[in-house]
């Protein structure tokens, strides 16, 4: 038995492998982020780049120390009080999970009961809001990674705004991979994370908060420290932070955002669309069935598909023999679905070709007929 690979490849839908530029930022000289005015300026510059990425020139944008779950909980904590009725767009593991957060803060979740293989229909959401006139908040996952299901954020945001309800959006797996116009689309709160298409280490939440969301937070009056929008406002106005920030993570995120803006957003978004097409065509060529019903409702950052053998067995074989890490899924899809991440630098011809070769070879090793050559051709063709 010999090792068949030079370096291991991480092709999961986050956390991802880190580009060299981001790795280099992690070994910059550290400072005291509470006292160093230069660090505060770098934090401000990083926030400004995040604003460009998501079209949030009017809304407040914060970068907090904590994995993106912090932002999701903060959004609910500052928008929901006992008795608040919340419409939950539940067509995925994370979409459904919002109902649990709403209950934790005393809210009343109204769950739509949607098909996990189809995007939420804006007309259906409109009808729900017409029927449930006392709904104050809608929760939505833009890209539900366990199933790779993609929801039409622009259209759903319009429906929510037209009804005067606050829209909370989990954009953790779409930020940096597709167009988001926070101000223009009238989103209430939008949450991103550092470890997905931004290709930075986990540990940072990017949070965009509209004026309507700030007004809602005042009304709710939640007494928190770590998740308090207004405490952050007070400290930022003074040129500081309410708690110590992880300086090297900010440096890494700043380098990642700079890399994205340097390439140009249109190029970045087109590359992710090409990756989505490449992965889906390759998976189908290998005889596997994608989980989302169509390409259009598949995330640009991840492809999910059913496997003819247990996903855990196939993933482990590919990792141990070929050094390529693919992902399984969660909740009801665990053991049934596998996933290829194409986030950030992964959304490229070389990364996807590697993933497809390893997947096809793994299938053949375990007795499943798979045309690896045609699958690689499908990847190459998608990137022409």
Residues 310-327 pLDDT 10s: 999 999 999 999 999 999
The answer to whether the 20-261 and 265-382 domains have the same CATH topology is no
pTM above 0.85, yes or no: yes
Low-confidence ranges of the chain (pLDDT < 70): 1
Model pLDDT, residue 2: 87
Fold of 20-261: 3.40.640
Query: What is the share, in percent, of the chain residues with pLDDT greater than 70?
Result: 100
Contacts of 146 (CB under 8 A, 6+ apart): 92, 93, 94, 304, 329, 330, 331, 333, 337, 339
Q: Does domain 265-382 have CATH number 3.90.1150.10?
A: yes
Strand order in the sheet with 302-306: 289-290, 302-306, 337-341
- The contacts found for 95-100 with CB under 8 angstroms, 24 or more apart, are 95/139, 95/140, 95/141, 95/144, 95/151, 95/170, 96/331, 98/72, 98/139, 98/141, 98/168, 98/170
Residues 156-212 pLDDT 10s: 999 999 999 999 999 999 999 999 999 999 999 999 999 999 999 999 999 999 999
Model pLDDT, residue 107: 98
Domain ranges of the chain: 20-261, 265-382
């Amino acid at each position: 038995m010999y090792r068949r690979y030079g370096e291991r490849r991480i092709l999961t839908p986050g956390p991802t492998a880190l580009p060299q530029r981001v790795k280099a930022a992690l070994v910059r000289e550290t400072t005291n982020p509470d006292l160093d005015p230069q660090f505060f300026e770098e934090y401000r510059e990083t926030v400004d780049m995040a604003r460009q990425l998501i079209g949030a020139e009017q809304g407040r944008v914060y970068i907090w120390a904590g994995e993106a779950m912090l932002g999701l909980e903060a959004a609910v904590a500052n928008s929901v009080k006992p008795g608040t009725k919340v419409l939950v767009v539940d067509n995925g593991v994370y979409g459904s999970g919002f109902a649990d957060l709403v209950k934790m803060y005393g809210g009343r979740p109204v769950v739509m009961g949607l098909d996990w293989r189809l995007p939420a229909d804006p007309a259906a959401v409109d009808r729900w809001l017409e029927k449930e006139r006392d709904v104050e908040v809608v929760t939505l996952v833009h890209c539900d990674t366990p199933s790779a299901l993609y929801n039409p954020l622009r259209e759903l945001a319009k429906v929510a705004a037209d009804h005067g309800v606050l829209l909370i959006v989990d954009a953790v797996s779409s930020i940096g991979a597709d167009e988001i116009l926070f101000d223009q689309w009238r989103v209430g709160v939008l949450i991103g994370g550092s470890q997905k298409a931004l290709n930075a280490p986990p540990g940072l939440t990017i949070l965009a908060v509209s004026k309507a969301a700030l007004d809602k937070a005042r009304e709710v009056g939640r007494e928190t420290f770590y998740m308090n929008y207004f405490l952050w406002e007070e400290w930022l106005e003074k040129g500081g932070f309410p708690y110590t920030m992880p300086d090297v993570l900010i440096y890494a995120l700043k380098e990642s955002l700079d890399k994205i803006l340097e390439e140009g957003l249109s190029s970045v978004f087109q590359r992710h669309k090409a990756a989505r097409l490449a992965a889906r065509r390759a998976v189908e060529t290998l005889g596997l069935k994608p989980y989302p019903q169509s390409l259009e409702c598949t995330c640009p950052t991840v492809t999910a598909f059913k496997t003819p053998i247990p996903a855990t067995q196939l993933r482990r074989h590919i990792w141990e023999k070929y050094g390529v890490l693919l992902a399984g899924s969660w909740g009801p899809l665990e053991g049934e679905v596998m996933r290829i991440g194409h986030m950030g630098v992964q959304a490229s011809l070389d990364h996807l070709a590697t993933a497809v070769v390893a997947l096809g070879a793994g299938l053949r090793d375990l007795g499943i007929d798979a045309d690896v050559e045609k699958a690689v051709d499908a990847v190459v063709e998608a990137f022409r």
